[in-house]
Chain A
């Protein structure tokens, strides 16, 4: 008898949590569509919370300096009709490879990074982890 009551109580609490949970999620999605034009690209899943976008437009990474948390997903979108890439600057340790107009590429932040477009070497950008930014204050 007792276990049954407990189980029912547990279930209803769970149902309540998942209800509020999903309504919050719904709200968040209402905010995002304009921020992530990447949603056009159906092959990639939608970025999760803690994600940020860098637009490649008019031969610039926008924003040029992005502050992010370790573990955040950064989405790069090429809005130019010329090809670009996103490549680690010092030793080319990682690269998006060539991105055509409208292409998106995602990376997960593990540390601060200096990157550039290896096709237009004067186009540069930075990701600075917030942990790093605090240490420097």
Chain B
């Protein structure tokens, strides 16, 4: 019960734009198969944001950053896929993954609607916020919920890359006058 409340309050902090009524009806304690699913979904979402940027931006710094997001998050998904295969775990859909996807759908519509002039700032602002939220979620929710040491190890190994992405996004944000 305590874990459940903690997890829910964590989620409400991380994804404040959404109601968590749906989550309250289910157990939010995650199995390793669910953690793996969340990890893959979280990476896919950032690749999709980056694909929008490669279509809409003309700014070299943004385009370079977006390509790095596509390459790095693809590499993380490959690592995660190889690991779940090795562990014979099938990633399992769950409330946290669904929440992330719902949030991302709205954000993608928002980004696609942006004028070319405003897109760069909207994209990089979202990258800063998204990486902050994902780093927080991995440190405070996913790592503590993971039992398998190799899966935990992979999540820990991904953190330095995410923190570098965050600093990279902040530096681009400053450059474009965000």
Binds B, one of A41-49, A64-72, A120-128: A120-128
Complex interface residues of chain A between 1 and 53 (CB less than 8 A to chain B): none
Would you call A83 an interface residue if the criterion is a C-beta within 8 Å of the partner chain's C-beta atoms? yes
Q: Mark B51-83, 1 if CB is under 8 A from A, else 0.
A: 000000000000010011001100110110000
Contacts of B68 in A (CB 8 A): 119-120
Count of chain A residues with Cβ under 8 Å from any Cβ of B? 13
Determine whether the beta carbon of A122 is less than 8 Å from that of B71.
no
Contacts of A110 in B (CB 8 A): none
Would you call A118 an interface residue if the criterion is a C-beta within 8 Å of the partner chain's C-beta atoms? yes
Which of B64, B71, B76, B168 has the most CB atoms of chain A within a 10 A radius of its CB? B168
Could you pull out 7 A-B pairs where Cβ atoms are within 8 angstroms? A58-B157, A80-B161, A82-B76, A119-B68, A120-B164, A120-B168, A121-B168
Q: Which residue of A lies closest to B170 (CB)?
A: A122
Determine whether the beta carbon of A59 is less than 8 Å from that of B171.
no
Determine whether the beta carbon of A59 is less than 8 Å from that of B64.
no
Determine whether the beta carbon of A59 is less than 8 Å from that of B75.
no
- Across chains A and B, the number of contacting residue pairs, with CB separation under 8 Å, is 37
Contact A59:B71 (CB < 8 A) given known A81-B79, A118-B64, A122-B168:
no
Would you call B102 an interface residue if the criterion is a C-beta within 8 Å of the partner chain's C-beta atoms? no
A122 and B72 alpha carbons, distance in the complex (Å): 15
Contact A82:B75 (CB < 8 A) given known A121-B168, A121-B171:
yes
Chain B nearest CB from A117 CB (Å) reads 9
- Residue from B75, B78, B163, B168 in contact with A83 in the complex, judged by beta carbons closer than 8 Å: B75
A59 and B135 alpha carbons, distance in the complex (Å): 15
Determine whether the beta carbon of B167 is less than 8 Å from that of A122.
yes
Would you call B144 an interface residue if the criterion is a C-beta within 8 Å of the partner chain's C-beta atoms? no
Determine whether the beta carbon of B64 is less than 8 Å from that of A82.
no
Determine whether the beta carbon of A82 is less than 8 Å from that of B161.
yes
Determine whether the beta carbon of A59 is less than 8 Å from that of B163.
yes
Determine whether the beta carbon of A59 is less than 8 Å from that of B160.
yes
State the 9 A-B residue pairs at the shortest beta-carbon distance, nearest first.
A59-B164, A58-B160, A122-B167, A59-B160, A82-B72, A119-B68, A82-B75, A122-B168, A120-B164
Determine whether the beta carbon of B171 is less than 8 Å from that of A119.
no
Q: Which residue of B lies closest to A98 (CB)?
A: B71
Q: Which residue of A lies closest to B162 (CB)?
A: A59
Complex interface residues of chain A between 52 and 101 (CB less than 8 A to chain B): 58-60, 80-83
A120 and B64 alpha carbons, distance in the complex (Å): 9
Q: Which residue of B lies closest to A123 (CB)?
A: B164
Contacts of B76 in A (CB 8 A): 81-82
Chain B nearest CB from A118 CB (Å) reads 7
A121 and B72 alpha carbons, distance in the complex (Å): 14
Which of B68, B160, B164 has the most CB atoms of chain A within a 10 A radius of its CB? B164
Contacts of B64 in A (CB 8 A): 118-119, 121
A122 and B75 alpha carbons, distance in the complex (Å): 19
A118 and B163 alpha carbons, distance in the complex (Å): 16
A83 and B67 alpha carbons, distance in the complex (Å): 11
